[in-house]
Amino acid sequence: MTTTDITTPGDAWSALLKGNERFVEGRPEHPRQDADRRALLAQGQQPIAALFGCSDSRLAAEIIFDAGLGDLFVVRNAGQVVGEEVLGTLEFAVGQLGIPLIVVLGHDSCGAVAGAIQSIDADSEPASFYLQRLIDMIVPSVKSAHRALADGADRDAPLDPREVGRLHIEASVTALLGRSPLISEAVASGRLAVVGANYDLANGRVDPHTVVGTL
């Protein structure tokens, strides 16, 4: 399948999963990275998906999904937090480029998530102004994880950063849909799907756990 054949959310997700499988197995093809592809893209772009992920250096989108030049429209910031700039950029991808899929990609051992967990400690020192604003956007997921522990049988267990990360990925997906009528309407029409997934640093696998729309 060439990228021009990929027009549906399901096709796009299938292509990304196949690329990730090649990466996990250590047999990447490094497709569409030659001079001809570069020259073709000078005339315009038609990415198959938007990737909204954490800026962590270990989360290089095109490598993880064994993708080529022009395949992914990538938006990244620390902790993949949803702000106005992110919403505007993804609305451009959906409205102007017609991408059929948005992947919200978090990962384990996320420094921003760790910072959010530490920030609710009464003895913690505040971060720098802009970093603290970013961390504050993850804190609701920390509090949700604490509530789940308090309501469960294992209320004395320590907070699991992986669970906080999972909740934050779900919160990011919810924020995209709740704050952008353009994105939510594209999902409702069947033109777009949003997948929330986690990247495992050790084995390289992308594990989806939240899907909005039809794949």
Number of domains, the chain: 1
Q: What pTM was estimated for this model as a whole?
A: 0.92
The DSSP-derived string for 14-67 is: HHHHHHHHHHHTT-----S-SHHHHHHHTT----SEEEEEE--TT--HHHHTT-
CATH label of the domain that carries residue 83: 3.40.1050.10
Look at 116 and 5; give whichever has higher pLDDT: 116
By residue count, the chain amounts to 215
pLDDT confidence of residue 156: 64
Q: Which domain holds residue 194?
A: 3-212
Segment 150-194, tens digit of pLDDT:
766 566 667 889 999 999 999 999 999 999 999 999 999 999 999
* Closest among 134, 146, 207, 202 to 172, alpha carbons compared: 134
Categorize the per-residue pLDDT at 149 as very low, low, confident or very high, splitting at 50, 70 and 90.
confident
pLDDT confidence of residue 154: 65
pLDDT confidence of residue 136: 94
| 82 phi and psi angles, rounded to 5 deg | -95, 110
- Alpha-carbon distances of 45 from 8, 60, 97, rounded to whole Å: 17, 20, 8
pLDDT confidence of residue 57: 96
Segment 60-85, tens digit of pLDDT:
999 999 999 999 999 999 999 999 99
* Closest among 79, 75, 77 to 49, alpha carbons compared: 75
